[in-house]
Amino acid sequence: MTTTYTYADTVVLTRRSLRHVLRSPDTITTTAITPVALMLLFVYVFGGAIDTGSESNLNFMLPGILLITIASGIAYTSYRLFMDMQGGIFERFQSMPITRSSALWAHVLTSLVANATSMVIVIGVALIMGFRTGASVLAWLAVAGILIMFTLALTWVAVIAGLSAKNIDGACGFAYPLIFLPFVSSAFVPTDTMPGPVSWFAENQPVTSIVDTIRALFAQQPVGNDIWIALGWCIGILAVAYAAATAIYKSKIS
pLDDT in tens, 102-141: 778 888 888 888 889 889 999 999 999 988 888 899 999 9
Q: What is the pLDDT of residue 208?
A: 94
Q: What is the pLDDT of residue 216?
A: 93
Q: What is the pLDDT of residue 75?
A: 84
Is the Cα torsion angle 9, 10, 11, 14 positive or negative in sign? Answer: positive
Backbone angles phi, psi at 124, to 5 degrees: -60, -45
Angle of helix 206-218 relative to helix 137-164, nearest 10 degrees? 160
Cα 35 to Cα 32: distance, rounded to the nearest angstrom: 6
Q: Which distant-in-sequence residues (6+ apart) come within 8 Å of 203 by Cβ? A: 186, 191
Q: Quick one: the chain helix, strand, coil %, rounded to 5?
A: 80, 0, 20
In terms of Cα–Cα distance, which of 232, 3, 241, 208 is closest to 111? 241
| pLDDT per residue as tens digits for the range 53-103 | 667 788 888 999 999 999 988 888 888 888 777 766 666 666 665 666 677
**Domain span at residue 37?**
2-253
Is the Cα torsion angle 168, 172, 177, 183 positive or negative in sign? Answer: negative
Is 164's pLDDT higher than 70?
A: yes
Q: What is the pLDDT of residue 1?
A: 40
Q: What is the pLDDT of residue 18?
A: 73
Cα 70 to Cα 92: distance, rounded to the nearest angstrom: 30
* pTM score: 0.87
Number of folded domains that form the chain: 1
pLDDT bracket for residue 145 (50, 70, 90): very high
Over residues 145-164, mean pLDDT:
92
